[in-house]
């Protein structure tokens, strides 16, 4: 892996490392379409991650608004990373080398659960779980 390169294309192997203590980069505001933020630690966005925007983090992605764009946590391969937001309303999320498309199945489950807003994503048994 090249130094400072993050994302699916650069993951050579996955690992599990606790991430309770982390370095964080704070972005003050919403990330707009076409904007991209990458950081080896945790990314905290004090706003929304809008459609067409990307947040790629070696550790966690935390958004104090709604995720509508691409959130990729654990982009260095760490499957212990999490994605957290006030609402996750994106077509796709990624943790380490695992990709989850959020489509009609998730919308139907959400309707059955009385419009429960998904706020947290993590990996369990090699699948991304939304709560």
Give the model confidence (pLDDT) of 61-95 as tens digits: 999 999 999 999 999 999 999 999 999 999 999 99
For residue 117, the model assigns a pLDDT of 82
* Whole-number average pLDDT of the chain: 88
CA 43, 49, 55: angle at the middle one, nearest 5?
40
User: Whole-model pTM?
Assistant: 0.84
Of 86, 31, 38, give the one whose Cα is nearest residue 59. 38
- Is 37 exposed, middle or buried, given 0-12, 13-18 or 19+ CB atoms closer than 10 A? middle
Beta-carbon contacts of residue 7 (< 8 Å; ≥ 6 apart): 56, 72, 75
pLDDT for the residue numbered 114: 45
Tokens 């003050």 sit at which residue?
28
pLDDT above 90: percentage of residues in the chain = 70
Residue-wise pLDDT for 42-51, tens only, equals 999 999 999 9
Q: Given a cut of 60, is residue 112 above it in pLDDT? A: no
Would you kindly state where each structural domain of the chain is located, as residue ranges? Answer: 8-130
Q: Tell the CATH topology of 8-130.
A: Pectate Lyase C-like (2.160.20)
**Sign of CA pseudo-dihedral 116, 121, 123, 127:** positive
Residues whose CB falls within 8 Å of the CB of residue 73, separated by 6 or more in sequence, listed in order: 57, 59, 60, 61, 81, 82, 83, 94, 95, 96, 121
């Amino acid at each position: 892996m090249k130094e400072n390169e993050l994302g699916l294309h650069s993951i050579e192997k996955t690992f599990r490392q606790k991430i309770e203590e982390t370095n964080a980069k704070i972005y003050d505001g919403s990330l707009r379409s076409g904007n991209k933020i990458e950081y080896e630690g945790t990314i905290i966005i004090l706003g929304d991650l809008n459609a067409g925007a990307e947040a790629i983090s070696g550790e966690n992605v935390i958004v104090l608004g709604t995720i509508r764009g691409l959130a990729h946590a654990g982009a260095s391969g760490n499957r212990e990373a999490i994605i957290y937001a006030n609402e996750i309303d994106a077509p796709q999320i990624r943790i380490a080398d695992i990709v989850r498309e959020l489509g009609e199945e998730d919308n139907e489950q959400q309707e059955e659960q009385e419009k429960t807003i998904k706020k947290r994503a993590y990996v369990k048994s090699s699948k991304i779980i939304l709560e």
